[in-house]
Structure 1
């Protein structure tokens, strides 16, 4: 099983964000990808760079005006305020009624929904090549490879069609899933990040050709809060499987089995996985209790579906077991294939 990664994905280096009223160091750091990349090399996974598939596959999922905004937003912010201030939004339009502003600060509030999506000098290159890694993985699977892993960083499943959210700018997994529909009639997207894939729900809400199933901690009491409840099904092809805070490994595996059964019933011909290692018991953003053996078992059950498989990296932060959990999942998946 090949891995896809471009070193330019390390160029996004946010400093801080506001959480629960306080400024804190930003957890979505380049070192996340470095630890996983090094683990891949140590375990014999070929790591290859993506080809440049251009903006069309991204614009197929995201509002073109949003994509255009991201290309030069940081430079425009710096031109207005100089060096020093964090490039985060400080004005928001509420329910997004009205007209899009022309001022950079107003535009940041329009397109960036929270303080976790700080813009840096390297953000555009990082998010562009993160998306290209997912597109490359999907292209290879559509071309006949059994499974490919995209080490996409920054992550993507909180990114909506027309807004950044929760560390995410481009929804890499949805871009990959849409790309696969050019080859497969029915595609499934399985999200096993501990947070609601609210961006994926936003993008896939009205799609009938992509089935979305997500396991995540209860959004009534855990971020991202605003989407991910069991009764939110879109046109009928979205499934939210809600886990209580503190859910143990057996509960998570049981929920996974339910999601896999629904994917089979949908008749999926290919599968994309939003792969979050923040299900780990010792993750800095921990909400459930999965350990390395649990990640390995999740991989075996997912690969056991026998579907063409694109794995797209999502969360998993700088806890002590990040690389161990990534190794457990990816090697177990490779062993099944």
Structure 2
């Protein structure tokens, strides 16, 4: 398995996450990459490839609105010029009943225009890290024709909409990988999201399209972030009708019920006729995760990879969530090792 890693990731280190009423350092931290790299090396995986070439702007614009990209690139400098503090964080949002017709001029308000959750700030290194993560997703997708590939990159991406950041996500790496596979010749691509949290951004980006099937197994949004998307009745619209499947599960779900959902997801992907697969790899389904409420054990993760391998598709894994630092690397290595039949 080829691994693509972004060395710029540690420039994105948020000290200003608002979580459960407390302001502190983000759970999505640079240490996550180090423990995964170490665990993969210990499990015998090859070292990461050299840093890939930057993502062409044209590819980013197939996923994200140009004005949104311009905002992300300039937001931190605008924030520092206005407030001279290191982390840019929104405090007001255009909720229903207010107007979202154009971004306001003050940077504090513009942050709310372009985001949906106060857990995600913009640091000095966020834009560079996000661009590098997207480059890893693209490189892994290009490599998938020759064998499975893994974008070991942060910040994650599956919560990022075409014109919104949030949930630790800025650029949607899974969507960028899917677009790359389509560009490379696949007629139909599937995205399987196995993170604890619903991939609301990925769903929104492809919701009206028929060339990308999105399937997500996640905590019921009645109970868990992102709360306002991810219900079972969201099936797609227009050309995308029938091309979105959500499999929400209650808090406390253990491997038996979770594995049954994975079987359902895999059958749907096989029936769609997908020619390539992107896996949004979150391991925050682990029982010890500090911000999630499923009960998968460390020994359950290899079987997840093995089940996905039975689809026999060119496969790209893109790193998403997982915040139990002590077990994070072993759980990622478990999924990837199971996929390879180790």
- After TM superposition, the score normalised by the length of structure 1 is 0.95
Partners of 1:37 and 1:55 lie apart in 2 by 29
1:118 aligns with 2:121: yes
Give the match for residue 220 of structure 2: 218
2:191 is paired with a residue whose SS is: strand
2:200 maps to 1:194: no
CA shift, 1:46, in A, is 3.0
- The answer as to 2:284 corresponding to 1:278 is yes
* Residue 305 of structure 2 corresponds to residue 304 of structure 1: no
Q: What CA deviation, in whole Å up to 9, does each residue of 1:264-288 have, x standing for no partner?
A: 1101110000000101010111211
Q: In structure 2, what is the Cα distance between the partners aligned to 1:53 and 1:213?
A: 25
Give CA-to-partner distance per residue, 1:40-74, whole Å, 9 cap, x none: 23323231122223222111100011011111110
Corresponding residue to 2:330 among 324, 327, 331:
324
Listed one character per residue, the Cα deviations across residues 93-119 of structure 1 (whole Å, up to 9, x for unaligned) are 223533221221221111122222211
Q: Is the 8 A contact 1:40 1:47 kept in 2?
A: no
1:241 paired residue number? 247
Matches within 5 A, 1:94-113: 94-95=95-96, 96-113=99-116
Runs of 4+ that moved beyond 6 A: none
Query: Which residue number in structure 1 is paired with residue 131 of structure 2?
Result: 128
8 Å contact from structure 1 (residues 284, 317) kept in 2: yes
Does the 8 Å CA contact 1:158/1:164 hold for their aligned counterparts?
A: yes
1:23 shift after superposition: 2.0
- How many angstroms apart in 2 are the aligned matches of 1:111 and 1:242? 27
User: Corresponding residue for 1:251?
Assistant: 257
Partner of 2:63: 61
Query: What does residue 177 of structure 2 align with?
Result: 176
Aligned residue for 1:133, secondary structure, equals: helix
The alignment partner of 2:287 has SS state of coil
Counterpart contact for 2:11–2:125, Cα < 8 Å: yes
More displaced, 117-126 or 89-98?
Answer: 89-98
1:186-228 Cα deviation digits (max 9, x unpaired): 1000000000111111111101000011000110011110000
CA separation in 2, counterparts of 1:294 and 1:45?
23
What CA deviation, in whole Å up to 9, does each residue of 1:282-326 have, x standing for no partner?
011121111222110010010111100000000001342111111
Shift of 1:19: 2.3
Mean CA deviation greater in 184-193 or 319-328? 319-328
* Residue 4 (structure 1) aligns with: 4
Distance 2:252 2:324 in 1: 19
Deviation at 1:8, TM superposition (A): 0.4
Q: Which moved more, 1:209-218 or 1:95-104?
A: 95-104
| Distance in structure 2 (CA, Å) of the matches to 1:218 and 1:172 | 23
Residue 154 of structure 2 aligns to a residue in which SS? coil
Equivalent-residue separation in structure 1 for 2:206 and 2:45 (angstroms) = 35
Alignment partners' CA distance in 1, 2:23 and 2:200: 24
Which structure 2 residues correspond to residues 9-20 of structure 1 after superposition, within 5 A?
9-20=9-20
Structure 2 match to 1:45 = 46
2:151 matches 1:150: yes
Which moves more between the two structures, 185-194 or 87-96?
87-96
**2:270 aligned with 1:264, yes or no?**
yes
Q: Secondary structure at the match of 1:241?
A: strand
Q: 1:53 to 1:319 in 2, by over 3 A?
A: closer
Q: Name the Cα RMSD after superposition.
A: 1.3
What is aligned with 2:91?
Answer: 90
